[in-house]
Amino acid sequence: MDCFYILYYLQGSLRRGNVPYLTDIDNIVLLGYSHSDFAMVMGLMGLVAHFSVIVTCILFAAGWRVGYYLAMVQIPFRVLFLIPSISTLLILPKLIADLIPWFMLVVGSEIVKGWSLWWLFQDKGRKRSGTSASWP
Tell me, yes or no, whether 99 lies in a domain.
yes
Based on the structure, what is the number of domains in the chain?
1
DSSP string, 15-46: HTT--TTHHHHHHHHHHHHHT-HHHHHHHHHH
Domain that holds residue 30: 2-129
Is residue 34 one of the residues assigned to a domain?
A: yes
Is residue 135 in a domain? no
Query: Are 4 and 87 within 8 A, CB to CB?
Result: yes
**What residue type is 125 in one-letter code?**
G
Q: Is residue 136 part of a domain?
A: no
The answer to whether 93 and 66 are in contact (CB under 8 A) is: no
- Give tens-digit pLDDT for 17-69: 999 999 999 999 998 888 888 888 888 988 988 898 899 989 988 988 898 88
Average pLDDT score, the chain: 78
Per-residue pLDDT, averaged over 84-106, amounts to 61
Asked, for residue 134, whether it belongs to a domain, the answer is no
Q: For residue 56, is it within any domain?
A: yes
